[in-house]
Structure 1
């Protein structure tokens, strides 16, 4: 395990970030700093964690100071090429030991095959292109310093009310008895993974004694489901039907599925949640919010 004591989490107040910071805060001896953009109430801030609100587009001096004092920087922010460029520039000066960057499995080609990390990206949407561009900035940075770069390509993460993805909309439709609008016929296939499994694996990657300058890992379930299949499982858990409207399809990949053997082999981790258990917990989380 790498001897990292000072961790900076960019986007640490968001959906995945808040879970990761909770995990890290449970460890003794760590100095945690969180950068966030939107307002965060004091009651949502964990004791012992240093929180910093800032706009990172222009990289204020405070940002460089935080990077300079960190052993590992974790980026969970929404795509912002200026942020990644500023991060790299700051690290060149500071010599931070590691970057863990969260990308997406949507960078892979549209295919029913389970993609391993060696498959080249084929971005189509702006989001996918932005993620690939940020990955490329980090890949070019590799070799110019002693910093290790770890790219984690995430599947469709779900599980909490902060999630704005498909499963979040499904849960809101169940909770509010509202209409769920589905783009196309609901036959798009995705790899869904529960948020707690994601942050457990991200935590492993932070402290993983990475020997190579660059590593890429898929963090996913390795299982694929159509939108209609996910809805059917959620309806069974809730004991109610969702009012669905199928609308005109938007331009997006039909099937993106990941191979997770690499991360599971390296970490020895076993996923705690399959789709049923994950949706049960997600339904509980949404119901508990009143």
Structure 2
């Protein structure tokens, strides 16, 4: 599990993901302002973590990554960007900065920002549907994305976040909130790779346990960074969660407790990958290298 393994994988695929997004969003709409707003947020940068997870599963199972696989794998980034645009809105988190740049509603106004998010969400399904993958894979992946992002997934988590601001949740409720708001789309990213590859059911089960533990670790780490980082380091406002009485792991457990929870989640993810390796006799070092994200 090395940072270099992840760095090499990112160096190979992040430019390809960014180029694909750039080229395929140049005519995102026949409305110039809408296209500009969609491109602005999608191309603003970011780790491209979710498509990278899908591509890492394909690589691990030696699935050749065709144009169809790439399109269906990159589609998640459109859905993720939609969620960020809406999350930043004044009615939600009211953030003025995202990745060091003005957020969509600051740049284009609330009306166009909402509509840019509205456009990106169905476009993610369109890219899966017209990717050229086998019809059964398209159907399963479309269903998985809808479940991950709908009223029992990402949107449900956002509702819980909004409704419980100022009200301290207990640990199980906080875990549920973040399993929906953040973890569901990470779960889907790994699931998409499983659906596009020949992965035996017992191995797939362990990979999804890895995904869920990774998603939990990702949220805890993000909460910790909000407390310990500067706006310049994160490219967005920090210390907002405590000021707005948001439910976070440091707020509930303290910073030391949040770090302990992070370490526990990482160990759970490592255990799941080891079980997957034992079952399949495959090398899961590439997926394990994603856990180095939490050692920065």
Same fold (TM over 0.5): no
Greater length-normalized contact order (CA 8 Å, ≥ 6 residues apart):
2
More helix by share: 2
